[in-house]
């Protein structure tokens, strides 16, 4: 892992690197000149409804609406960027090695009310932006160009973790009853505290899967989501997520933290730098709590 310092001095009048379309001075730039992407709220706006929809997996908050939504456990915005249809393999409801094509609009489950689903829209956008940024960086670095201008991007790590939480809960609650994963459980107390406080337990969150010299293959418009389970306890504790060439482990349950820390994976990296052909582009990841101050550099192999 490289510890290159990718510090930058952005122009306040230029577009914000978070991709919002606003200029930096009106978006992620603070009064002291620092640049930081604030976490998005996940609590539905307005007064609490006092209603618990029986089919919404967040009904314990008693803040539902009466209408259920067709929820994509992998954000619809990401699936839409892949195409009108997607090829799926490794899902719990498929047999080993089976690949099946689904229309993007059909990869849904009625497991979240409209009110809660809308509250997660900004969190979904963080994952969509990262997906877009990684594909854009690879496309630029793979092209020959005389330009050596460094480009910067900005995402909220807190939002990425909340998106991963939503993906995990969506995957868990959408399982058909005859799948293996349907026999597993999740720690409900962790989920309830996380949704109410927007804070993961200590040591939980995103761990970057990166080793010096490890070859990573970038597949454009591809996302992989797998489960992390404790088989003896029949417990679902996290996800393995691969967005392009960036692979992370996401832990929601502190039960498995010690094993990941022993493997010395990078916890909540500060940045991802991609370099090649004399160019370098950086995705900064903003964290509001404990995180690593180091980042990692992915070097493009010449072709």
- For 134-151, what is each residue's pLDDT tens digit? 888 888 887 776 566 778
- The reported pLDDT for the residue numbered 3 is 45
Smallest CA-to-CA distance from 57 within 110, 128, 124, 125 is with 110
Smallest CA-to-CA distance from 125 within 76, 82, 84, 171 is with 76
Distance from C-alpha of 185 to C-alpha of 269, rounded to nearest angstrom: 29
* Residue 251, beta-bridge partner list: 205, 238
Q: What is the pLDDT of residues 23-63, one digit of tens each?
A: 999 999 888 888 899 999 889 989 999 999 999 999 999 99
137-161: buried (b, 16+ CB within 10 Å) or exposed (e) per residue? bbebbeeeeeeeeebebbbbbbbbb
Region at 61 (left for phi over 0; alpha for psi -120 to 50; beta for the rest):
alpha
Contacts 24+ apart (CB under 8 A), 235-240: 235/184, 235/185, 235/186, 235/187, 236/168, 236/172, 236/181, 236/184, 236/185, 236/186, 237/186, 238/168, 239/164, 239/167, 239/168, 239/171, 240/209
- Contacts of residue 164, defined as CB under 8 A and 6 or more positions apart, other chains included, come to 127, 206, 239, 241, 250, 252
Region at 302 (left for phi over 0; alpha for psi -120 to 50; beta for the rest):
beta
Distance from C-alpha of 48 to C-alpha of 56, rounded to nearest angstrom: 15
Q: What is the pLDDT of residues 243-269, one digit of tens each?
A: 877 888 999 998 877 766 656 788 999
Q: What is each CA distance from 63 to 159, 209, 274, in whole angstroms?
A: 21, 37, 42
The CB density around residue 34, as the number of other CB atoms within 10 Å, is 8
**Listed range (114-128, 148-162, 171-185) with the worst mean pLDDT:** 171-185
- The reported pLDDT for the residue numbered 80 is 65
Residue 1 has pLDDT above 50, yes or no: no
Structure-model confidence comparison of residues 197 and 94, the more confident one: 197
Smallest CA-to-CA distance from 15 within 4, 2, 24 is with 24
**Listed range (116-125, 133-142, 175-184, 279-288) with the worst mean pLDDT:** 175-184
pTM over 0.75: yes
Smallest CA-to-CA distance from 37 within 297, 252, 271 is with 271
- Contacts of residue 87, defined as CB under 8 A and 6 or more positions apart, other chains included, come to 99, 100, 101
């Amino acid at each position: 892992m490289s510890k290159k310092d990718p510090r930058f001095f952005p122009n306040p009048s230029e577009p914000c690197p978070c991709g919002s379309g606003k200029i930096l001075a009106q978006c992620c730039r603070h009064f002291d000149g620092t640049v930081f992407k604030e976490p998005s709220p996940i609590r539905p706006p307005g007064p609490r409804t006092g209603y618990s929809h029986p089919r919404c997996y967040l009904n314990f908050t008693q803040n539902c609406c009466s209408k259920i939504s067709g929820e994509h456990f992998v954000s619809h915005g990401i699936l839409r960027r892949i195409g009108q249809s997607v090829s799926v393999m490794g899902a719990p409801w498929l047999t080993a090695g089976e690949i099946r094509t689904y229309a993007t609009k059909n990869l849904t489950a009625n497991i979240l009310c409209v009110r809660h689903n809308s509250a997660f829209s900004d969190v979904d956008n963080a994952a969509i932006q990262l997906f877009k940024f990684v594909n854009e960086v690879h496309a630029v670095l793979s092209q020959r160009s005389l330009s050596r201008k460094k480009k910067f991007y900005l995402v909220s790590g807190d939002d990425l973790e909340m998106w991963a939480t939503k993906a995990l809960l969506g995957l868990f609650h959408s399982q058909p009853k005859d799948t293996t994963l349907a026999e597993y459980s999740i720690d409900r107390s962790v989920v309830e505290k996380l949704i109410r406080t927007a804070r993961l337990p200590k040591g939980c969150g995103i761990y970057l899967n990166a080793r010096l010299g490890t070859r990573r293959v970038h597949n454009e418009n591809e996302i992989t989501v797998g489960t992390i389970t404790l088989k003896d306890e029949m417990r679902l504790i996290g996800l393995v997520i691969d967005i392009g060439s960036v692979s992370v482990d996401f832990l929601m349950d502190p039960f498995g933290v010690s094993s990941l820390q022993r493997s010395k994976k990078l916890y909540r990296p500060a940045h991802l730098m991609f370099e090649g052909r004399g160019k370098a582009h950086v995705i900064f990841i903003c964290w509001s709590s404990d995180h690593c101050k180091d980042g990692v550099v992915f070097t493009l192999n010449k072709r």
